[in-house]
Structure 1
Amino acid sequence: MTSEPVSPKRRPGLLTHLGALAQLAALGLLGALAFSLLATLLSVGISLLIVVVGAAILVAFLYVLFALAWVEHERVEGLYGFGIPRLRPRSSGRPGFGGWLRTLWQQFIDGAMWRGVASAAVGTVLGFIVLPTIAWLTSSIGLLFAPLRGTEPVRLPGTGLIIDSGWALAAGVAGIVVSLAILLGVALLHAVLTRAILVPSREAILAEQARAASTQRAGAVRASEVERTRIERDLHDGVQPRLVSVAMTLGLAQQKIDSDPAAAKALVDEAHTSTKAAITELRQLARGIHASVLDDRGLDAALSALAARSPIPVQLDVRVDGRCSATAEAALYFAIAESLTNAAKHSRGSQARVTVRRRDDGTLWARVEDNGIGGAHVQPGGGLDGITNRVLAAGGTARLESPTGGPTALEVSVPCAS
């Protein structure tokens, strides 16, 4: 999103206004049905709120609101080409039930969604004006031909007035002029109102940019803290004790090298084996910090190498055309790597599946599933916490599904150009 106010790509012309009138006529009918459905869902959901079904109905009400707003955004953008940002579902980026509740709240307070609903309401009201005006225009055109049918008096459309057939022509012309003026006014008013409601101002754009930047910055800071803690833990619990053991073994070998050369040789062999294991652990630790194959050969090759090293079988399905930014690819790679590590350590699963796609909207999406026991949740400083914050730092979202009994699924979406 740019920092400049959104400006229309084209000036609405005659065909655009005619299209707007046709859409408003449809909105006069369909919009009334949509808002009746919303009112019904809201009233039933509130009345049944004491039971679970009431909460489910209110959630349905929220997403019907979103669907209505999405359709309105697409309709107005397709009609006028204002350059309105596409409406997308909001997400807290946090996994688990608490993250889902936070997502619902963020969706409820989403200003873009409510602006779409307001625009749909305005369009519905204007549709109520367009429908009878079109009927009046049609009847007025019919009055032009009234003198051809004889000298019988005629009834003015929409009124109970009876006039002489000699005045029918004048009444028809007047009706056509007035109804066309009303329709033109409604079309112009609709263009002005939808632009005022849906097109974000410069201040709103800057506020959204500041909010997104703040979220990404917080995620980056938290991700770096989690990563530092992980590195310290891996060094303290893995490599450091092994190197201390190597030093002690070599010390014992040094003491025995004169008195018992065979035992000293065995100790040196033991130290050599431990040293190679420490080198392997350091290599894995370095790979966890930065995967060089990701830079050299891309996401597909890096994930293939990752799947080959996994302790449990991994079914890999990667369909990504071209390269994304290094930040996006790294965030997705490390999210998948940490998910597979968690699956191998904690899930008790026998297999995992990784699906990666580059979507049409420019996002890099991945889903990691395992057939384990489930019950995974975010713990401060844990692997899932690191995934969430690293993805947030890249401007993306992460969603965890892990009911008790399994399976566990993690979905990650990251802007390809992040």
Structure 2
Amino acid sequence: MDGGGAVAGRAGGAGWTGRPDGARRAGGTGRAGRGFGGVLLAPVSARAWREFAYVLLSLPLAVAYFSAAITGLSLAAGLLVTFVGIPVLAGVLLMCRGFGWLERARARVMLGAEVADPEPLPAGRRGAGADGRRGVLGAVAALLKSGSAWRHAVYAVVWFPWAVFAFCTALTLWTTAWSLLLYPLWFWVFPVFTDQPGLQLFQNGDRTFHLDSPAEVALAGLAGLVLVLAAPWVVRALAAVDLLLVRGLLGPSPLAHRVSELESDRGVVVDTAAADLRRIERELHDGAQARLSALAMGLGLAKEKAAEDPAAAARLVDEAHGEVKLALKELRDLARGIHPAVLTDRGLDAALSSVASRCAVPVAVAVDLPERPAPAIEGIAYFTVCELLQNVSDHAAATTAQVDVWKSGPRLLVRVADDGRGGARPGSGGTGLAGLAERLGAVDGVLVVDSPDGGPTTVTAELPWRSR
């Protein structure tokens, strides 16, 4: 079978829960932590210093964004009574979108996080009219009605207090941690250049506590080591909150993202339907239509010879009868490829059993559904199994295969497993699992492939459950 690793038609598909013996979800466990060595090396890793620099740089940028946004919004609010405030407000929103572009670029460069650009302003409202006024008014209206522009303005305001907190926390923790860790190397500065025996921690009246004894110096270094090891993870958490703000306020809105997904899915559906129509036209033209044309010619010859050579006419009629049978078989196969009658009449259990009987290897079928799903979902599940079993026949070198269909919560799950050689990869060998994943994604489905080298191979399709 074709497919390896995990192919997901929709990464955001619902997380399915299968049977104990069911297929594993793609990327189920992820990579394990780097262990003790990773913890020890974290303070000197490039990532930790990039995140620290990101948090430090956030404060001056947040001050600039906050000052510009508050000043601009206040000025626009004060000028609204003269209508001059409207273009001023639009200019502030445009400026905030520029801030968002800079922050997305900074997150990409310093944190390695890709944040998609927000939805663009409506293009039709930015075109200039004959005198340019319509274009200016359209751009102002587009900015004022843009939800992403207002989210950028909110970000410029609410990010400031968080940036102050993150800056103070990171800088204090980082400098304290490294100062204590290195204290055994520099504590001699106090008795040599000052009148103090060591670092003064506190003073209460006449009592003063200094870190000056060897034990205290060692304990300070040990405390510094603990803080140094903890500091990168605290800074990483601070940067993660920053990144959440960037993704939530400076990226595309969930609604816009969903609209983009639906547009992509619509394109997949249209392309798939067009490909199916071309396939049906080609099979009709090259198959049944050609045979029916030959049949018409044969019957015409038989009609001419019926009077003068009855025996030759009988042979031609017999040949025409054979052509009719072949044409009927091709038409039945074509109809089965469009939508089999057994699926409509008797459901997935009978339809998949029929498909399994035609597979090149023995296939066991188990369908456990409380009721029949919606016809569209039922048809997608059927053709998914057809394609996967075709892959088993053509590529797996398997001796047995298993098809399981069941319902888990609001999802319909279809699993096809074989004991073949495995090692299948999406898109390899021309078997089309990548295209199958796209078609499943068009209905919020997910395709999961587990095919290690040497086998076995398990492919699980997850579809939304829709009742009839």
When normalised by structure 2's length, the TM-score is: 0.43
Q: Higher relative contact order by CA 8 Å / sep ≥ 6: 1 or 2?
A: 2
Larger Rg, first or second structure (1 or 2)? 2
When normalised by structure 1's length, the TM-score is: 0.47
